[in-house]
Amino acid sequence: MKIKVLPDTVINQIAAGEVVERPASVVRELVDNAIDAGATDVFVALEAGGHTRLKVRDNGSGMTRDEAILAFERHATSKVSAIEDLVRLSTLGFRGEALASIAAVSKVKLRTRARDQEVGSELTIRGGKLVDVQSCSWNEGSEIEIEHLFFNTPARRKFLKSPRAEMAKIRTWLAHSSLARPDVRYRLVSDGDEILNVPVAISVQERARAVFPADLIPVYLEESGVRVEGMVGHPGQALGDASGLVILVNGRLVSDKVVLRAVREGYDSMLKDREFPTGYIAIQLRPEDVDVNVHPQKSEVRFRHPSQIFAVVSGAVLAGVRAIKRPLGVPIPTDRVSMPRHVVPRGEAVSPSVYAARELFQVEHNAARSAYCESPVVTGKIAETLPRYGEAFATSLEPRNAPVFESQGFRFSNLRYIGQALECYLVCECNDELVVVDMHAAHERVNYNKIRRARAERDLVTQKLLIPETVRLTCEHVVYLMEQRDVLEALAFDVTQQSDDSVVVHGVPGVVAHLNCTALLKEFASEPVVAGWRERIEERIDHMAARVACHASVRSGDALSRHEAYALFAQLDETELAGACPHGRPVVAQFSRDAVERWFGRDR
């Protein structure tokens, strides 16, 4: 194979693959250029989510005819002249790749006029080739129109999401990036409808209140040359992924794992393992202490002293949210409590007191959970506020005096229950074996099979809520969730869109009617949906059914009575594939007497 130099068209298309991932990538580059040009009004218009056409218009300084032609050459930029400039960048764009890369995979029309010019210029470019240049009448500033993105690279076009999903991603990015420049007006029109209009604000805090619908907690800390300020949401507003947290570094919108971990650390024990906070964190530091040239799309940075950034960010967030934690008797927000506020289905298999206790107890630090749970005041509160229907789970099964394995194989009902260990495991014995049951995995399998059986028998009913629940999400999450509406309906959810960033829950499957389903819907909205899922819709339904079963099941930390343990064993005996939960984790582990005795050296 001979070595050869690639043609410019191929080089540009390769570069485009790194810089231009989707319509949102194009919008980001063009808006960044507009801001760098001094624009105070940025207008974005889309057709079919940017699949067909998108344009960005600004009132910035504009370009002369020669500058406009040169701007589409590779590595042409007005921001960097020497390598030393890279360590003191104050602009959003600098690499000189964006316009050339975008033009290489689309049809471009640029109209622009510099402030000191009487007439403007219009350029037409197709697939990276300059087709036409002529004079035109134009206001001061620029407008770049992109048509048929990836028209000459169809393989890349196949990876684009639906027009609604692409529009939502652009809307989210535009709203989030507007936090860095409250002095700029941002507008977005999609297929003729205005879906975003963020007016000029007097401060970042005012802009944040326009971007985030919920109340936010201010955070601030300045230390060792690093200033952190922002506003973060209450733990009850947490999402299933990090898309609701905006990270700004020296005015640049980025994704950064160090900052994300630091923010979560600042919440201490107020967030669950898979919960992420909402709000924004703006970090200001010396340009030479952060490298912004580590990603082709400029979406990531590298800090010179990441441990220092971690300490300042986590300290700022901790100081801000401490007011939530300090009072011992702080009320639990209603969207975090599993107290049954709706009609409880008859014959439900789980005692609601288990869930209410879990949510109540987890507000306190894990180290104090045991003492807190045993408080007679708390126990009394649960007894008074919850209906007495635990008997639906706790049937009158009693342990057998002489459990034996039946000839056809293992049966859970033959187990002699000893007790609960490590908050999640049911310790039992049977003949000469020690048997340990993962109660969450076991109950998850039972509930999952109930859901599948009810679907097969067309008996999976929707439990209407007395008071519909409003669930706030990001714009992208609302789009993702509503695109799966047929899946939700197949699982007996009744959900409608209320606004760009919220949905209303009118009904839920009976198996989870006693729960608050906010967290469940947030999981559905944030979990990735692979391409072609509609052709495998039953797989998607099964996947989401497993999540429903997970939420409806007892969790680690829930206290099961002896009656409840035996009732669970009885249900497992009637359940197919009872040896594993829907996610493939084992339900039961068995240890022979010989194995146990070897642990303690009794075989010697």
- What pLDDT does 533 receive? 64
What is the rounded CA–CA span in Å between residue 479 and residue 24? 15
Instruction: Please give the full DSSP string across 511-537, using - where no structure is assigned.
Output: GGTTS--HHHHHHHHHS---TTGGGGH
Q: Which of 303, 322, 341 is the last residue of a domain?
A: 322
Residues 48 and 179 in one domain: yes
Helices 376-385, 352-361: axis angle to 10 degrees equals 140
Greater model confidence, 537 or 386: 537
Output the domain CATH number for residue 565: 3.30.1540.20
pLDDT (tens digit per residue) in 394-416: 332 333 333 333 334 678 888 99
Q: Which of 159, 174, 199 is the last residue of a domain?
A: 199
> At 195, is the pLDDT very low, low, confident or very high (cuts 50, 70, 90)?
very high
Residues 466 and 576 in one domain: yes
Residues 195 and 221 in one domain: no
Residue 296 has pLDDT above 60, yes or no: no
Structural domain for 64, as ranges? 8-199
Find the mean pLDDT for residues 591-595: 86
Residues 518 and 545 in one domain: yes
Residues 284 and 343 in one domain: no
Output the domain CATH number for residue 54: 3.30.565.10
What is the rounded CA–CA span in Å between residue 463 and residue 568? 24
Q: Which two tokens stand for residue 560?
A: 């099961």
Domain presence at residue 2: no
> At 41, is the pLDDT very low, low, confident or very high (cuts 50, 70, 90)?
very high
Domain presence at residue 194: yes
CA–chain centroid gap for 338, Å, is: 22
Residues 318 and 334 in one domain: no
**Which H helix or E strand runs over 475?**
helix 475-483
What is the rounded CA–CA span in Å between residue 485 and residue 499? 15
Residues 165 and 62 in one domain: yes
Q: Are strands 279-284 and 245-249 parallel, antiparallel or unpaired?
A: parallel
Domain presence at residue 206: no
Please calculate the CA angle 476-538-154 and round it to the nearest 5 degrees. 55
- What pLDDT does 159 receive? 81
Contact assessment for residue 514 and residue 345, using Cβ atoms and an 8 Å cutoff: yes
Greater model confidence, 504 or 376: 504
Output the domain CATH number for residue 250: 3.30.230.10
pLDDT (tens digit per residue) in 434-484: 999 999 989 988 988 888 888 888 888 888 988 898 988 888 888 888 888
Residues 372 and 407 in one domain: yes
Q: Which of 175, 199, 223 is the last residue of a domain?
A: 199
- The total of structural domains in the chain comes to 3
Model confidence, pTM = 0.63
Residues 537 and 426 in one domain: yes
Instruction: Please give the full DSSP string across 325-374, using - where no structure is assigned.
Output: HSSTTPPPPGGG-----SPPPTT-SS-HHHHHHHHHHTTS-GGGHHHHHT
Residues in the chain: 604
Domain presence at residue 1: no
Alpha helices by DSSP H, 430-474: 439-456
- Residue at 277: amino acid letter: P
Contact assessment for residue 136 and residue 83, using Cβ atoms and an 8 Å cutoff: no
Residues 168 and 218 in one domain: no
**Which H helix or E strand runs over 465?**
strand 462-472
- What pLDDT does 584 receive? 66
Residues 160 and 243 in one domain: no
What is the rounded CA–CA span in Å between residue 174 and residue 139? 24
Residues 449 and 304 in one domain: no
- What pLDDT does 513 receive? 76
